[in-house]
Amino acid sequence: MSTPIEQRRILRTAIPGPASQALHARKLAAVSSGVSTGLPAYIERAAGGILVDADGNQLIDFGSGIAVTSVGNAAPKVVERVSAQVAELTHTCFMVNPYEEYVAVCEKLNELTPGDHPKRTALFNSGAEAVENAVKVARHYTGKDGIVAFDHAYHGRTNLTLAMTAKNMPYKHKFGPFASELYRVPMAYPYRWPGGPQHCADEAFDYIIDQIHAQIGEENTAAVIIEPIQGEGGFVVPPRGFLPALAQWCRDNNILFIADEVQSGFCRTGDWFACDDEGVVPDLVTTAKGIAGGMPLSGLTGRADIMDTIHPGGLGGTYGGNPVACAAALGAIETMEELDLCSRAREIEAILRADLEKLAAIYPQVGEIRGRGAMIAMELVTDRETKEPAAALTAAINKACHAQGLVTLTCGTLGNVFRFLPPLVISDELLHEGMSILADAFAASV
């Protein structure tokens, strides 16, 4: 066991310091320029809410490696299970020789995902792979081709998922042509709904189903896929009633409703899954990110009658559901249950919101604060009337936070959303300290 990391921010050098800069010079000479780094402080160890870099700086983590280390980095139960597993069995390929850990993770996903109907699960390596398989299953089961995705959607970087992702730079630019029979409809985005936020709930649903009817036809539509709270696209939360209405309409039209919970899942929003908030039960659910404390694993969970129509050998892959990744998932899920991280996510929301409301009271550039649990965002605008996106200000504040050792992330199709995704095991003290760094960064940047 390595020595525990004191849960305290420590700045020993400028960020990034000399050791990180030396590593970064090697990175630039060895790693493709296409793989960029948000904050080139090279991390050596991490735990709780702290990342320790190569210069011994201790940074506060408000990103969890993009909603992945919800149980914390190197979480004790994850380390324990992974260490034991890696010493016993590293790989067989589940499709060649099966092992218990894969089955146990599927049982857990079937139990925890929304709805108490019979379910089946298949495991993969990445979120994009889970989404790809959701599309394969939906087309196979329905015998239809059309897939509907939303404005501001992010579903991954493979060719099929890029067709579903809604942002050109940096994801899609010059990487096409993309897979066909993917259609896009407007997102129910209250803050930017053309008819005004108060009409979004009524108008968005009607508009979207009219679009699907007119442009594709229900009889050609296999599935509608939506992030119940959008991630990369800006933490857009649809108005209450929208997701239940959409799910019901899909059911009425023999169209599968797929919830992409890759970012919003596993206690992040204060529930096991974001769909739970309104009792929405999807036909298929994709999971990844928070599932295994940082080990690569993803899942596709769905109605047993859908998932069991696939012919043997139709789903799989060499590494999908690797035993070490599965052991990590079992340790991560056990941690979420034991520490009641859903409740902790709601406490984190209360702390973050209180401080963000203070910023909103001072700065007219805060257009909206939104999100649920420990998935909270602040959208910045140059003017509250015109809602002109303040992308440059967002980037400046982000940079100022980084310089003070606070690892923050931005998002949004227009690059003007600040997002907060702290590990759910972060202390109140680090949350408060992070928010005061953010307030200083705001003051210095406006």
Q: Give the nearer residue to ligand PLP in terms of CB position, either 286 or 404.
A: 286
CA distance 140 to 132: 12
Taking the complex as a whole, the smallest distance from the CB of residue 43 to ligand PLP amounts, in Å, to 19
Q: Give the nearer residue to ligand PLP in terms of CB position, either 324 or 390.
A: 324
Taking the complex as a whole, the smallest distance from the CB of residue 289 to ligand PLP amounts, in Å, to 6
Q: Give the nearer residue to ligand PLP in terms of CB position, either 153 or 216.
A: 153
Pairing relationship of beta strands 119-124 and 284-287 according to DSSP bridges: unpaired
Q: Give the nearer residue to ligand PLP in terms of CB position, either 110 or 287.
A: 287
CA distance 127 to 262: 6
Structure tokens belonging to residue 1: 């066991």
CA angle at 44 for the pair 297 and 405, rounded to the nearest 5°? 100
Taking the complex as a whole, the smallest distance from the CB of residue 439 to ligand PLP amounts, in Å, to 28
Output the DSSP codes for 261-300: -TTTTTTTTSSSSGGGGGT---SEEEE-GGGGTTS--EEE
Q: Give the nearer residue to ligand PLP in terms of CB position, either 15 or 237.
A: 237
CA distance 118 to 51: 41
Taking the complex as a whole, the smallest distance from the CB of residue 206 to ligand PLP amounts, in Å, to 25
Minimal CB distance to ligand PLP: which residue?
Answer: 127
Q: Give the nearer residue to ligand PLP in terms of CB position, either 259 or 380.
A: 259
Burial 421-440 (b: 16+ CB within 10 A, else e): bbbbbbbeebbebbbebbbe
Helices (H), 315-390: 323-338, 341-362
Cβ neighbours around 197 below 10 Å, total: 13
Look-up of token digits 């809604």 = 166
Q: Which residues bind ligand PLP (CB under 6 A)?
A: 126-128, 131, 154-156, 227, 231-232, 260, 262-263, 288-289
- 3-state DSSP assignment of residue 367: strand
Q: Give the nearer residue to ligand PLP in terms of CB position, either 131 or 393.
A: 131
Taking the complex as a whole, the smallest distance from the CB of residue 50 to ligand PLP amounts, in Å, to 23
CA atoms within a 13 Å half-sphere pointing along the CA-CB vector of 89: 16
Taking the complex as a whole, the smallest distance from the CB of residue 249 to ligand PLP amounts, in Å, to 22
250 membership: H or E segment, kind and range: helix 242-252
Look-up of token digits 């990180």 = 20
Taking the complex as a whole, the smallest distance from the CB of residue 166 to ligand PLP amounts, in Å, to 12
Q: Give the nearer residue to ligand PLP in terms of CB position, either 119 or 419.
A: 419
Taking the complex as a whole, the smallest distance from the CB of residue 299 to ligand PLP amounts, in Å, to 11
